[in-house]
């Protein structure tokens, strides 16, 4: 998988699933979330993961800068 990145997917109830997916799969996930309900099968490094889109409450990508403490 070329240029794979770690993505955390948060669900109602507090569960979080971490997967390693490529950029195009992440784009497909974002588009599917914008459309709404249904299921989406993600082809991740760990294997196929089926996601119930109606229960997803957040996505966090490893490429998002992470900061500790205060300041800009």
User: Percentage of residues in the chain with pLDDT exceeding 70?
Assistant: 83
Which structural domains are found in the chain, ordered by start? 5-61 (2.30.30)
**Count of alpha carbons within 13 angstroms of residue 69, beta-carbon side:** 2
Share of the chain above pLDDT 90, in %: 69
- The answer to whether the beta carbons of residues 60 and 8 sit under 8 Å apart is yes
Span 17-41, pLDDT tens digits: 999 999 999 999 999 999 877 999 9
pTM of the model: 0.78
Helix (H) or strand (E) holding 61: strand 56-61
Res 1: pLDDT? 45
Radius of gyration of the chain (CA): 13
| Of the candidates 40, 72, 71, 45, the residue with the CA atom closest to the CA atom of residue 55 | 40
């Amino acid at each position: 998988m070329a240029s794979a990145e770690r993505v955390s997917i948060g669900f109602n109830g507090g569960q979080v699933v971490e997967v390693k997916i490529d950029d195009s799969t992440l784009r497909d996930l974002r588009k599917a979330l914008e459309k709404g309900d249904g299921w989406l099968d993600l082809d991740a490094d760990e294997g196929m993961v089926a996601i119930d889109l109606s229960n997803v409450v957040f996505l966090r990508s490893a490429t998002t800068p992470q900061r500790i403490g205060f300041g800009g």
